[in-house]
Structure 1
Amino acid sequence: MTDDARRTLEGVSTATITTILLKRGLRNVWMRGTRPIRTEQRRVVGTAFTLRFVPAREDLATPASWSSPRSTRAAIETMPEGVVVVVDARGVTNAGVGGDILCARMAARGVAGLVTDGVVRDGAGVLSTGLPVWSAGVAAPPSVAGLDFVGWEEPIGCGGVAVFPGDTIVADDDGAVVIPAALLAEVLAEAPEQERMEAWIMEEVGRGVPLPGLYPMNEETRARYEAHKSGAA
């Protein structure tokens, strides 16, 4: 992702992104169960780096698996700076996909944030790492209590949404959304104008303008908005 693309999306809400994608027929881009673990957590933007878990099987999901070449530990050491890690935990909420040590290492590698439809453990420790996290909550048990890690950088499902490596993730107070790689340029082109337009509409609402004809705009309102833009230029 280019620095310009990142800067643009850092100024665009997930609500705006879902609206833009809805206009293109994509209704399922918001990952259910992905909530910020701290209030007023900063918005993060980055390329998706995917991790995938499957249901635990007793002969595989053991503490010994943490030392395997196919482990979350190994995956973390391949994460490029600036990515958003997206973890398919199958919605399991009684086993943490990672805790303070894993999150601290991600932060040290420059990971932008962690998104999962599961939970993290060592909640206070995770907060202390400063890594922005979106999850379904926290739980004490380790991942192997309910999950088996099977791979990274492959297509996953997170919160009921398909996420592919190379997609773009934006996460803020409303949760996390995915922008398909093929649609990123269109979102970048439309999103700033959508934000400007809605900011103007909010100003009009503050002035007491009624909603019919304002949101969505009719032709008269559109003309007033265009005149406003011209005057502000």
Structure 2
Amino acid sequence: MTGVAGADVEALRVHGTSAVSDALDTLGQGGTGLPGLLRMSGTGPVAGPAFTLRYEPVEPGAPGPAGEFIDDVPPGAVVVVANDGRTGCTVWGDLLTSAALRREIAGTVIDGVCRDVGAIRESGYPLWSLGSYMKSGKHRVRLTAAQEPVVLRGVRIAPGDVVVADDAGALIVPAALAGPVAEKALGVTLAEEGIRADIAAGLPLAEARRRHRYDSFGLASR
């Protein structure tokens, strides 16, 4: 599904969204965050190749059965659901969560809402969405595409792009940039560790930042 090396995916997960975001900024790729999505369940950082889905509304009274896709999602992937920010019906609940856990799927990111939040939180499954709502998506929306490029929160996501998500939210690393972003994120992480050590040793924050060239992170490379 993706040509991204597993070591790069793991590095992106370990560094987390803040360092990865700074790395993307440095590479001139600052527009890959997914604003508005909140962590609804799970703990710790998550990263994995995107398995993309697109939903569209159906006419009132027209059939719109539940989307059957979960058995096609490989272990370690992150399910990315483009539901165009709809908050009046859900596209994910506890049944999909149970299946996702059994398949060892890394998490789910939804441009829309989920339901059964209590059960999902109890399961520990990582999920990000705009919020929660109880209305089923059955016969309100239908699955129209799987494993095709989608747009989520204004960001184009291709199958296999890397989703990185944690308590701060979710962002996308284009597959072709996973290696360079992981390398830049390591530099950010090391610099911040150095700054914390300098602060612990009594240096003023401004001086610690200067020593580790903190303000250079986020400047697009030329």
TM norm structure 1 = 0.82
For the pair shown, the structure with the greater C-alpha radius of gyration is 1
Query: Structure 2 matches for 1:79-94, cutoff 5 A?
Result: 79-94=73-88
Q: Kindly, what percent of the aligned residue pairs are identical?
A: 30
Query: Structure 2 matches for 1:174-185, cutoff 5 A?
Result: 174-185=168-179
Q: Give the direction of change, closer, same or farther, for the CA distance of 1:146–1:202 in structure 2 (3 Å limit).
A: farther
Partner residue, 1:110 = 104
Q: Give the direction of change, closer, same or farther, for the CA distance of 1:102–1:82 in structure 2 (3 Å limit).
A: same
Whole-Å Cα distance in 2 between the matches of residues 214 and 55 of structure 1? 53
**Greater fraction of residues in strand:** 2
Corresponding position: 1:194 with 2:188:
yes
Query: Structure 2 matches for 1:59-208, cutoff 5 A?
Result: 59-62=61-64, 65-66=65-66, 72-73=67-68, 75-144=69-138, 146-208=140-202
Corresponding position: 1:53 with 2:19:
no
Q: 1:31: Cα distance to partner?
A: 0.7
Q: 1:77: Cα distance to partner?
A: 1.3
| 1:26 counterpart (26, 29, 36) | 29
Checking the alignment, whether the CA contact within 8 Å between 2:48 and 2:164 is kept in structure 1 is yes
Checking the alignment, whether the CA contact within 8 Å between 2:50 and 2:77 is kept in structure 1 is yes
Whole-Å Cα distance in 1 between the matches of residues 199 and 111 of structure 2? 36
Give RMSD over aligned pairs.
2.0
Whole-Å Cα distance in 1 between the matches of residues 177 and 119 of structure 2? 37
Q: 1:97: Cα distance to partner?
A: 0.9
Three-state SS of the structure 2 residue aligned to 1:33 is coil
Checking the alignment, whether the CA contact within 8 Å between 1:87 and 1:115 is kept in structure 2 is yes
Q: Which has the higher contact order (CA 8 A, sep 6+)?
A: 2
Whole-Å Cα distance in 2 between the matches of residues 57 and 105 of structure 1? 29
Question: How many residues are paired up?
Answer: 210
Unpaired runs of 5+ residues, structure 2, are: 214-222
Partner residue, 2:43 = 41
